[in-house]
Amino acid sequence: MSWVTIIWSMVASACLTLAAVNLLVWCKKRTEWANLLFSLTAVGTAGMAYCELWMMQAGTPAQFGTALRWLHVPAWALLVALVGFVGLYLRAGRPWLAWSFVGLRTLSLLLDFLVGQNLNYREITRLRHIPFFGESVSVAEGVANPCMLVGQLSLLLLVLFVADATVTVWRRGDRRQALTVGGSIVFFTLAGTVQAVLVLWEMVHWPMTTSFFYLGIVVAMGYDLSRETLRAAQLSEDLQESEERMTLAAEAAGFGVWMWSIARNHIWGSEQWLGLFGFAPDAIVTFENVMQRIHPEDREQVERAVRRALEDRVDYAGEYRVVLPDNTQRWVTARGRVYPDTQGKPIRMMGATTDITAGKQAEEKAQRQHEELAHLSRVTTVSELSGSLAHELNQPLAIILTNAQAAQRLLAQQPPDLAEAREILADIVSEDQRAGEVIRRLRSLLKHGETSLQPLAVNGIVEEVLQLSRNNLIGHGITVHRTLAPNLPQVQGDHIQLQQVLLNLIINASDAMSANPPAGRQLTVVTARRDGAVRISVSDTGCGLPPDAGRIFEPFYTTKKHGLGLGLPICRSIIAAHKGRLLAEASERAGGSPGATFHLELPPAAEGKL
């Protein structure tokens, strides 16, 4: 084995190895066109090395000519790929220069096969054997082909194109890349061209070794590409590290993190996330697997939120119940974000999920306690009204009795007054219904009930409450004035709780006026629209607010002898649960007693269905 064969084979195999590696890179990631072009450049260089070896070992001029003719094929591929690489990888260079080069080089390749023995020789007359690396290699002698100038002109264009691109990259500030890629291409192309010109015009007796120069280019390009690859690898390592750190932080904060690759429908979840849904620690789950674990009543809502996030590219947020395989339930809250690809199609969704069961339970407990307390306060309110309510029931009963006895007398007359008796019976029926209505209302007030919000007419509630407390007010010698605005929007509320609050305010008002002379006991109830809210105002002419009026909504603060101090705090919390406000205000009244006004403001129920 000769040194020449060894060296040229090594050049070729080095180039082929680099080509194979980069071809693989491109196969994995089809968008990395620079790797494919690099691979083509390397293959071209290997082809050139092979043709050069063929030339050096040619036995006849004809063989040499054929080898030289075929050399231009890999050279064409190499050079065209090189131009493409520069344009794509360095993102520089003038397209017209590139296309002119490709045109000229293709023309020279055509000439190579059409004119003379090859592009360089019209005819090779004889071979000369010269010593090279301790052995004898073939060098041609013959008539030069003037078409060769086309090839050399194309190389000049290549150098111009690359040099121009290099200047652009340099100016862009990427000096290292300009030097390693641009600089080396210019240098080695020029050097290779000069060597080729010297050999071909037979100014030196030396075999063609252009592939060596192109090897330099391939090495420089490969170096730069691998730097990029290394940098990407480092970046991905950093990324993974930061991802791990983030996961760690999220898990420490009680969040399970997850990433859903939408196309593959594969959800990666941190250990905590998998545990939250009762999956095995290394399970690979799909969207459907997760949906299976969501409480059937919550599934649709979650699905809707996810679909909305994907379609409208908004953040996803949800709160739902998870049912584990052993049938235990937990509440979780999840947030996620959609990541689209370059075309804007969602490819990934990432987010965090956390267990809020404890909070939910506390919330439910607080809600139950709140309802319990509200009920208790209602019972107290009703018991304060008991006299009035007894009267409210007594009244229809008294009317029924008197009517019935009057009827007995009318029927005993001769002739009996049947017409009047008929009317009496009708009255008895309606009074009985009235008594039944009082009992129904009372029962609903005393009922243990869950809060149920529904659209309500405010004026109706005011009338009902005034009816319930009518006798209490008359008994206290209170005159009631009402100004109820027509066409008020409905409010979203719990009927019984709103009645309770109003009853409380009315009882407070009547208590506040008990020390007044009868003429000074005036209760005013006004409903109105105010700043978009529906407002019910209850005003009295009583003793007014205490000096520390700010405290009247505090629990256990009371100005009444037998008060618990829970009425107003409960009222305020009920109204807060209705997203409304309860305010106290000292009435401005010239002369007369000070008095107080309580404003109850509720947001109107949304138009249409809620």
Partner 1 sequence: MSATHGTVFLLDDELGMLKALTRLLTAEGFTVRAFTSAGTFLESYRAEERSCLVLDVAMPKLSGLDLQQRLTHAGVLLPIVFLTGHGDIPMSVQAIKAGAVDFLTKPVNDADLLRAVRAAMQRSAEQRERASETAKLRERLASLTPREREVMDHVVAGQLNKQIASDLGTGEHTIKVHRARVMQKMGVESLADLVRLAERLGLGNH
CA-wise closest residue to 508 among 587, 598, 383, 438: 598
- Considering the complex, what minimum distance in angstroms separates the CB of residue 600 from partner 1? 25
Q: Of the two residues 73 and 421, which places its CB atom closer to partner 1 in the complex?
A: 421
Q: Of the two residues 13 and 394, which places its CB atom closer to partner 1 in the complex?
A: 394
Residue with tokens 């019935």: 404
When asked if residue 544 is in the footprint of partner 1 (CB under 8 A), the reply is: no
Q: Of the two residues 391 and 579, which places its CB atom closer to partner 1 in the complex?
A: 391
Query: What SS3 class is residue 325?
Result: coil
DSSP string, 402-464: HHHHHHHHHHHSSS--HHHHHHHHHHHHHHHHHHHHHHHHHHHHHS------EEE-HHHHHHH
Q: Of the two residues 37 and 389, which places its CB atom closer to partner 1 in the complex?
A: 389
Piece of 93-101, 133-141, 188-196, 409-417 that binds partner 1 (CB under 8 A):
409-417
Cβ atoms < 10 Å from Cβ of 156? 15
**Separation CA 272–CA 251 (nearest Å):** 6
Torsion angle defined by CA atoms of residues 134, 140, 145 and 146, in that order, rounded to the nearest 10 degrees: 40
Among 100, 301, 395, 490, binds partner 1 (CB under 8 A): 395
Q: Of the two residues 367 and 467, which places its CB atom closer to partner 1 in the complex?
A: 467
* Side chain identity at residue 294, one-letter code: I
Among 328, 394, 433, 454, binds partner 1 (CB under 8 A): 394
- Considering the complex, what minimum distance in angstroms separates the CB of residue 398 from partner 1? 4
Task: List residues bridging with 534 in a β-sheet.
Answer: 529, 602
- Considering the complex, what minimum distance in angstroms separates the CB of residue 582 from partner 1? 28
Cβ 133 vs Cβ 207: under 8 Å: no
State the sign of the Cα–Cα–Cα–Cα dihedral 202, 203, 205, 207: negative
Q: Of the two residues 220 and 525, which places its CB atom closer to partner 1 in the complex?
A: 525
Q: Of the two residues 471 and 504, which places its CB atom closer to partner 1 in the complex?
A: 471
When asked if residue 410 is in the footprint of partner 1 (CB under 8 A), the reply is: yes
* Side chain identity at residue 314, one-letter code: V
When asked if residue 477 is in the footprint of partner 1 (CB under 8 A), the reply is: yes
- Considering the complex, what minimum distance in angstroms separates the CB of residue 384 from partner 1? 15
Q: Rounded to whole angstroms, what are the CA distances from 521 to 102, 123, 267?
A: 105, 131, 71
When asked if residue 403 is in the footprint of partner 1 (CB under 8 A), the reply is: yes
Piece of 81-89, 193-201, 313-321, 395-403 that binds partner 1 (CB under 8 A):
395-403
When asked if residue 424 is in the footprint of partner 1 (CB under 8 A), the reply is: yes
Piece of 209-217, 270-278, 377-385, 403-411 that binds partner 1 (CB under 8 A):
403-411
**Separation CA 400–CA 426 (nearest Å):** 10
CA-wise closest residue to 217 among 169, 150, 172, 159: 159
Cβ 351 vs Cβ 258: under 8 Å: yes
Q: Of the two residues 183 and 396, which places its CB atom closer to partner 1 in the complex?
A: 396
Cβ 122 vs Cβ 140: under 8 Å: no
Task: Give the E-state strand segments of 71-221 in sequence order.
Answer: 121-132, 135-144
Going by the DSSP 8-state scheme, the letter that residue 550 receives in this structure is G
**Separation CA 347–CA 284 (nearest Å):** 18
When asked if residue 433 is in the footprint of partner 1 (CB under 8 A), the reply is: no
Cβ 99 vs Cβ 191: under 8 Å: no
Count, residues near partner 1 per rule CB under 8 A: 30
Cβ 393 vs Cβ 435: under 8 Å: yes
Q: Of the two residues 406 and 584, which places its CB atom closer to partner 1 in the complex?
A: 406
When asked if residue 467 is in the footprint of partner 1 (CB under 8 A), the reply is: no
- Considering the complex, what minimum distance in angstroms separates the CB of residue 426 from partner 1? 11
Among 357, 479, 490, 573, binds partner 1 (CB under 8 A): 479
- Take residue 44 and report the two structure tokens written for it: 């071209």
Q: Of the two residues 371 and 431, which places its CB atom closer to partner 1 in the complex?
A: 431
Among 32, 112, 431, 494, binds partner 1 (CB under 8 A): 431
Among 191, 310, 373, 399, binds partner 1 (CB under 8 A): 399
- 504 Cβ partners below 8 Å, 6+ apart? 377, 381, 567, 568, 570, 571
When asked if residue 391 is in the footprint of partner 1 (CB under 8 A), the reply is: yes
- Take residue 33 and report the two structure tokens written for it: 């066109």
**Separation CA 181–CA 173 (nearest Å):** 14
Contacts (CB under 8 A) with partner 1, residues 330-389: 387
- Considering the complex, what minimum distance in angstroms separates the CB of residue 427 from partner 1? 6
Among 390, 425, 426, 576, binds partner 1 (CB under 8 A): 390
Going by the DSSP 8-state scheme, the letter that residue 203 receives in this structure is S
Residue with tokens 């909504």: 553
Q: Of the two residues 361 and 405, which places its CB atom closer to partner 1 in the complex?
A: 405
Q: Of the two residues 181 and 473, which places its CB atom closer to partner 1 in the complex?
A: 473
When asked if residue 401 is in the footprint of partner 1 (CB under 8 A), the reply is: yes
Q: Of the two residues 52 and 431, which places its CB atom closer to partner 1 in the complex?
A: 431
Piece of 12-20, 123-131, 149-157, 424-432 that binds partner 1 (CB under 8 A):
424-432
CA-wise closest residue to 492 among 571, 602, 575: 602
When asked if residue 406 is in the footprint of partner 1 (CB under 8 A), the reply is: yes
Among 62, 249, 397, 586, binds partner 1 (CB under 8 A): 397
Among 126, 409, 440, 529, binds partner 1 (CB under 8 A): 409
Say if strands 454-456 and 491-493 run parallel, antiparallel, or are unpaired. Answer: antiparallel
Q: Of the two residues 325 and 475, which places its CB atom closer to partner 1 in the complex?
A: 475
Q: Which residues bind partner 1 (CB under 8 A)?
A: 387, 390-391, 394-403, 405-407, 409-410, 413, 417, 420, 424, 427, 431, 471, 474-475, 477, 479, 518
